[in-house]
Amino acid sequence: MRTLQALWIALLISVLPNLAAAQTASYSLNSTGVSEFGTGPYGSVTLTQNFSDVLVNVVLRNDLNFLSTGNQNSHSIFTFNVSGATAGDVTDISFANGLNGSFGVASPAGNSPFGNFTFGILCTSSCTSGGSGGGYVDPLNFTVHNATLSEFNHLSSGGTNAYFAADVLNLSGNTGAIGATVAAVPEPETYAMLLSGLGLIGFVARRRKQPASRV
Within-domain flag for 12: no
Within-domain flag for 124: yes
pLDDT value at residue 97 = 79
- Strand positions, DSSP E, the chain: 24-29, 31-32, 43-50, 53-60, 64-66, 78-80, 90-94, 102-106, 109-110, 116-117, 119-125, 140-144, 164-170, 175-180, 185-186
Within-domain flag for 112: yes
Predicted confidence (pLDDT) per residue in 114-135, tens digit: 999 999 999 888 887 777 778 8
Within-domain flag for 14: no
Within-domain flag for 66: yes
Predicted confidence (pLDDT) per residue in 150-205, tens digit: 999 999 999 999 999 999 999 999 999 999 999 987 755 444 444 454 454 454 44
Q: Residue 185 is part of which domain span?
A: 20-195
- Look at 80 and 19; give whichever has higher pLDDT: 80
Question: Total domain count for the chain?
Answer: 1
Within-domain flag for 214: no
Give the pLDDT band (50/70/90) at residue 3.
low
pLDDT value at residue 5 = 54
Within-domain flag for 201: no
pLDDT value at residue 80 = 98
